Amino acid sequence: MGPVAPLLTPWRWAALLGFALVAPAGLPAGGGDWRMPELRRRQSSREPLLSPVPLALRCAPERQAPTITAAAAGEPLRVLRAWSRQDGERWLQVELASPGGQRRGWLPG
């Protein structure tokens, strides 16, 4: 058998006690939650997206194109198709389902 492990020196005791007293302060009551947050994904491509902020729908995939309607925040959008311009800019043609009927327009994507 080898020699018995030496007793902890006073500075090691101080470091151990300091860590034991300070480390739990960063945790919520009951300990930390190590689970990853759940991501909500669309179940199918038919399920609408929700606009996070008010959006202006344009009549063509151009920045200078006139705005034809506006989508309020939280309004469901259905992507009809994606369009990539020659300069690499991407646009999405979307459809809004609203009480006044369906509206279509282009959004920069």
Q: Which residue has the higher pLDDT, 30 or 101?
A: 101
Q: How many domains does the structure of the chain reveal? A: 1
Which residue range is the domain that position 87 belongs to?
49-108
Distance CA 45, CA 96 (A): 15
**Element holding 20 (H helix, E strand):** helix 10-22
- 90 in a domain, yes or no? yes
94 pLDDT exceeds 80? yes
Is residue 103 in some structural domain? yes
Q: How far apart are CA 94 and CA 109, in angstroms?
A: 11
Report if residue 12 sits inside a domain. no
What's the mean pLDDT in 17-44? 63
86 part of a folded domain: yes
- Assign residue 98 the CATH number of its domain: 2.30.30
Q: Is residue 98 part of a domain?
A: yes
In a domain, 95, yes or no: yes
- Give the whole-number percent of the chain exceeding pLDDT 90: 4
What beta strand segments (E) does 3-100 contain? Answer: 49-50, 55-58, 67-71, 76-84, 90-98
Residue 23 lies in a domain: no
Residue with the larger pLDDT of the pair 36 and 53: 53
Determine, yes or no, domain membership for 40. no
